[in-house]
Amino acid sequence: MGRESKKKLEIRQLYKRRIFSFICERKETSRQEIAYALRISMPTVLQNVRELCESGYVQEVGQYESTGGRKATIITSCPDAKLSLGIDITKNYVDLLLVDLAGAIKEVKHVEMPFAREESYYKKLGELAKNILKGHKNLEDRLHGVGISVPGIVDEEKMIITYSHALGFRNLHCSVLSQYIPWPAYFINDANAAIMAELHYIDNDSTMAYLSLSNSVGGAVIINGELYKGINQRSCEFGHMRLIPHGKECYCGQLGCLDAYCSALVLSEACGGPLDGFFQKLNKGDPELKKVWETYLKNLAVAVINLRMAFDCDIMLGGYVGGYIEPYLPELRIMVGNLDTFGENGVSFLKACKCKQKASAFGAALQPINDFINHF
Ligand SMILES: [Zn+2]
């Protein structure tokens, strides 16, 4: 192929990718809106939408109400055209979640399965993936990949999980973990996956910091829709920000880390049972747990204001505790407001996560989908 025609083909592919990406993002749209929003000529839009319809990735689903002229046809992506499986690996269990191109959840599975750096564990992981996909037709063509979320630091260039305290290892090659999963695997840190899940519900160009309050504390930051990963892929280890100098011992060996004060374990251990039990007893007025919760919120408020001072953007609370935080936000906002140096906007920057459960599995599942759309 000559240079000239290769360039033309690249430009045509670029137009097609932009149009397809726009249709997926908007959920529903029209040819006119595509042409206007992307500043692409109507004949180019018509041709690309026709090709996308023919290949089964896009469909016409009806017509918009007329605003005077000809009625515009409603176009959507065909969500079932591609599927993706998300797997969240944790210390004690595995969550699996199957999503379609539009991010709709098709199937969910939770399996108690303690992590072990052993062949039998990797094999079981492969079996779980294959089992959840049974019963979905034409899977070979439709499953774009498997997103795997891990509680550890993922070096995406070398494809190595360099460190996971929760799983108790250093330097595990990703291909070892996914060796029995017969589809392309995309690895992502669990907090990064959770913030990607949130991004699905809001503006793709958002900037925000996500504080993950699970059995360990972590986080992620998105700047204009892009994850900030840090030079060593260790950005946003908020759990090891020093909250109280010479304070309680953290699992990392240092003293006074935020994790020692704001992990979900602080709450579940106080009630001697699962986190849900903590909030049930708290709501029934248990005086001891009320004290624990007040102290927890006080410490959390300091962490929130520190993040706000550092990033000057929305701060979102997620992870296990984030799923329960909504009713307590007004109280927490007052506490944060009292610490706010600028304090002019009533702490509206503090938000609860929208994805309350299985956020990391969902965010992981979105990785192959995003890859498919970006390389269309
Ligand atoms: Zn620490």
Is 257:239 a contact under the CB 8 Å cutoff? yes
Answer yes or no: do 218 and 149 share one domain: no
Domain end position, chosen among 54, 77, 100: 77
Q: How far is the CA of 196 from the centre of ligand 1 (A)?
A: 24
Answer yes or no: do 86 and 73 share one domain: no
Answer yes or no: do 154 and 241 share one domain: no
Q: How far is the CA of 158 from the centre of ligand 1 (A)?
A: 26
- Give the number of other CB atoms < 10 A from CB of residue 300: 24
Q: How far is the CA of 153 from the centre of ligand 1 (A)?
A: 15
Q: How far is the CA of 239 from the centre of ligand 1 (A)?
A: 6
At 72 the pLDDT is: 86
Q: How far is the CA of 243 from the centre of ligand 1 (A)?
A: 10
Answer yes or no: do 219 and 328 share one domain: yes
Place of tokens 């910091």: 209
Domain end position, chosen among 53, 77, 101: 77
* C-alpha span between 228 and 309 (Å, rounded): 17
Amino acid at 193: A
**What SS3 class is residue 101?**
coil
At 188 the pLDDT is: 94
Answer yes or no: do 67 and 108 share one domain: no
Answer yes or no: do 343 and 257 share one domain: yes
Q: How far is the CA of 251 from the centre of ligand 1 (A)?
A: 6
The residue range of the domain holding 221 is: 203-352
Answer yes or no: do 24 and 90 share one domain: no
Q: How far is the CA of 189 from the centre of ligand 1 (A)?
A: 18
Answer yes or no: do 227 and 325 share one domain: yes
Q: How far is the CA of 250 from the centre of ligand 1 (A)?
A: 5
Residues in the chain: 376
Q: How far is the CA of 91 from the centre of ligand 1 (A)?
A: 18
Q: How far is the CA of 248 from the centre of ligand 1 (A)?
A: 10
Q: How far is the CA of 242 from the centre of ligand 1 (A)?
A: 8
Sequence-distant (6+) residues with CB within 8 A of 76 are 23, 27, 28, 29, 58, 59, 61
Q: How far is the CA of 312 from the centre of ligand 1 (A)?
A: 24
At 244 the pLDDT is: 96
* C-alpha span between 142 and 84 (Å, rounded): 8
At 148 the pLDDT is: 97
CATH number of the CATH domain containing 29: 1.10.10.10
Q: How far is the CA of 315 from the centre of ligand 1 (A)?
A: 21
Q: How far is the CA of 79 from the centre of ligand 1 (A)?
A: 42
Helices (DSSP H) in the chain: which residue ranges?
Answer: 3-26, 31-38, 42-54, 119-133, 139-142, 174-177, 190-199, 259-262, 264-271, 275-283, 287-311, 319-322, 329-339, 359-374
At 269 the pLDDT is: 95
Domain end position, chosen among 15, 48, 77: 77
Answer yes or no: do 144 and 216 share one domain: no
Q: Low-confidence residues of the chain, pLDDT below 70? A: 1-4, 6, 9, 67, 203-204, 345
Number of domain units in the chain: 3
Q: How far is the CA of 265 from the centre of ligand 1 (A)?
A: 14
Answer yes or no: do 304 and 265 share one domain: yes
15: its two tokens? 């137009």
CATH number of the CATH domain containing 154: 3.30.420.40
Q: How far is the CA of 96 from the centre of ligand 1 (A)?
A: 29
Q: How far is the CA of 212 from the centre of ligand 1 (A)?
A: 14
At 1 the pLDDT is: 56
Q: How far is the CA of 238 from the centre of ligand 1 (A)?
A: 9
Q: How far is the CA of 166 from the centre of ligand 1 (A)?
A: 13
Q: How far is CA 299 from CA 226, 248, 295, in A?
A: 29, 13, 6
Q: How far is the CA of 94 from the centre of ligand 1 (A)?
A: 25
- Give the number of other CB atoms < 10 A from CB of residue 69: 7
Answer yes or no: do 244 and 347 share one domain: yes
At 337 the pLDDT is: 94
Answer yes or no: do 175 and 92 share one domain: yes
Number of H-type helices and E-type strands within the chain: 14, 16
